[in-house]
Amino acid sequence: MAKRKLILDTTESMSRIGFRHGFKLLSRFYKEYAHSLRGKLLGIWCLHVLFAAGLVVPPYLVKEVIDRGIATKNISLIWSLAGAIMGTFVLVAVVDKIRSFWGHILAQRIAYNLRNDLYSHLQRMSFKFYDNTSTGELLSRMVDDLSVVQDVLYHGPQNIIGNGCMLLFAGILIFTLNWKLALASLAVLPAIFLIDYRIFLTMFKSARKVRKAMALFAGRIEENFSGMRIIQSFVREKHEMRRFERENRQHYQSRIGVIRSMSWIFPASISILGVSLAIALGYGSFQVVAGVMTVGTLTAFVMYLQRFMSPMVELSRMGESVVRFLAGIERYFEYMDNHPDVKDSSKAVGIADTKGEIQFEEVWFRYDKDTVLKGINFLVHPGETLALVGPSGSGKTTITRLIPRFYEPYRGRVLLDGKNIADLKLHPLRSQIGMVMQNDFLFSENLLNNIAYGRLDSSEEEIMEAARKANVHGFAQELPQAYDTEIGERGVKLSEGQAQRISIARAILRDPPILILDEATSSVDSETEILIQEALDRLKEGKTCIVIAHRLSTVLRADRILFIENGQVIEEGNHQQLLERGGRYAHFYNLQFNNLD
Ligand code: ADP
């Protein structure tokens, strides 16, 4: 008894949350994505009505053939009615062709808008969002969820309007033909409603689980393929196979819930249809024998009854698609409602050319719970080079990420030329800053386009010039198709030193007044090192530069060094001053740099 009560509770709450929520989702979807196409949609929906209307004509013509044509042996009437049946089917076929073509085009159009909007929205999301969302999940929402939505966008209205009208027309006709027989045959209807209702509710719950499991699974697939080189080099294939298998199983099991519910729909409905037809034929034949009804009317009645019941089955099956559609748009709006946490404030102003003075004023920052920067203060004058030095995890990269506002401090201010960057527009601010980070992202395009990414409107000569300055030109000449050579996904076909020089070339082309450099920690051969150093020197000329330093040569050249430890500036000065002080920097220097350069 207790268990039964529990099931009822779940079902009741599902119906409350499920239907109201589903309706809300649908009306929001209509308002945002379908309203502007309402004229065209209405046209297609009228064609669905016409299609259903066309299909209810033939049984009436069959009745006429039997009752008037055959009964009176009127051959010409029989032929004309047969011709009319054929004509009706041709008309129905033409209507179907038009509705199917334009209906699919409209569905594609809406899905195209959905994808564009989602992509444009996701592009504005901050680093924090991407820290917490896997690429696989994003892919699953962009591709998988939206293809379900697109599919149902056409088949949903086609099924609901087409079958709904068929249900209505056939219902009216069976009652018109013989209302007593209609009432007797449809006595089983409540059973269909009850069964479908229960199945629908369980399916909605399962469909949500499927969407979630699918996103997790897609995340695993993406991560494993991206990390296949690591998997193979650590010989972790078996371990990964086990993890993959576990998530694949979860994905498979989540689908079973939907399949289990769905597999009941057809058998339940078809059995009920069987009962209904048996009643119609039994009771109907009795009426024909009694002379109350003609054979033609009984034949038409049975045909209409089938046309009445089969849309019921189709509509129940449609429940599954509607449920998947709702789960898809629910997840879509979940993303769209997730607003970027770094954006232009209402009073944000643009900036043109900056002098390049950067100041941190009592800056505190945390990614999650732990505070990573604890009251950072410093000032970099225009044209100065500031080196950040300190143990790994001390907060150096985090400091550089606050300057382009990839993240925002929870206390304190970052100033550019004396203006709080929180009051500046994001795009102009970021245009003033060039970043050359370790393992910068390269696109799976050719070399030329990868450099041109620094400034999209640059001419080929400018790109070549940047490539020369960044010492890219030498190795580019040796590649099979020089600058047209495809460099593979994320630049896998290049060496680390080559990839670094491409990102320097990009920054040279961009020519921003402020530069943020993260020196590579892994060592390259000394010849490459010289080439990179030369490229960097050309890039840094006349610019304000903040560099996360890992090399002695860099700290020696820096105007000033900040020694960062545990999110705080512990010491500040140039290399000589800091060495003479004999503090934390001097200790770190002896461990880290002394024997390296
Ligand atoms: P450094 O550049 O000095 O090696 P970071 O600035 O990269 O140090 O990291 C400082 C601290 O912040 C570390 O404890 C690191 O684990 C943490 N951290 C870095 N990036 C993130 C992130 N995206 N989300 C959460 N914590 C992070």
Domain boundaries, the chain: 14-336
pLDDT at residue number 97: 95
Compute how many other C-beta atoms are within 10 angstroms of the C-beta atom of residue 100.
Answer: 15
Task: Indicate if ligand 1 lies below 6 Å from the C-beta of 131.
Answer: yes
Place of tokens 């490459």: 528
Low-confidence ranges of the chain (pLDDT < 50): 1-17, 596-597
pLDDT at residue number 296: 92
Task: Indicate if ligand 1 lies below 6 Å from the C-beta of 394.
Answer: yes
**pLDDT tens digits along 373-409:** 999 999 999 999 999 999 889 999 999 999 999 999 9
Q: Please name the residues in contact with 582: beta carbons below 8 A apart, sequence gap of 6 or more.
A: none
pLDDT at residue number 209: 77
pLDDT at residue number 374: 94
Q: Which two tokens stand for residue 506?
A: 């990009």
What is the C-alpha to C-alpha distance for residues 430 and 351, in angstroms, rounded to an integer? 10
Residue from 91, 83, 50 nearest 64 by CA: 83
Give me the torsion for CA of 423, 426, 429, 435, rounded to 10°. Answer: 140
Tell which one of 360, 369, 370, 397 to mutate to probe ligand 1, the residue whose CB is within 8 A of the most ligand atoms.
397
pLDDT at residue number 2: 37
Task: Indicate if ligand 1 lies below 6 Å from the C-beta of 65.
Answer: no
Q: Which two tokens stand for residue 372?
A: 């990573």
326 in Cβ contact with 25 (< 8 Å): yes
What is the distance in A from the centroid of ligand 1 to the CA of 239? 28
pLDDT at residue number 524: 62
What is the C-alpha to C-alpha distance for residues 409 and 426, in angstroms, rounded to an integer? 15
E strand or H helix at 412:
strand 411-416
Residue 5 CA to its chain's centroid (Å) = 39
580 burial type by CB count under 10 A (0-12 exposed, 13-18 middle, 19+ buried): exposed
Please tell me the residue having the least CA distance from ligand 1 atom 18.
Answer: 367
pLDDT at residue number 521: 60
What is the C-alpha to C-alpha distance for residues 164 and 156, in angstroms, rounded to an integer? 11
Q: Which two tokens stand for residue 319?
A: 């429940």
Q: CATH: 2.40.30.260, 1.20.1560.10, 1.10.10.10, 3.40.50.1100. Which one for 14-336?
A: 1.20.1560.10
395: left (phi over 0), alpha (psi -120 to 50) or beta: left
pLDDT at residue number 514: 92
Amino acid at 157: P
What is the distance in A from the centroid of ligand 1 to the CA of 370? 10
pLDDT at residue number 311: 84
pLDDT at residue number 384: 92
Q: Which atom of ligand 1 is nearest to the CA of 567?
A: 10
Q: What is the pTM of this model?
A: 0.77
What is the C-alpha to C-alpha distance for residues 118 and 177, in angstroms, rounded to an integer? 53
Q: Which two tokens stand for residue 45?
A: 């929906």
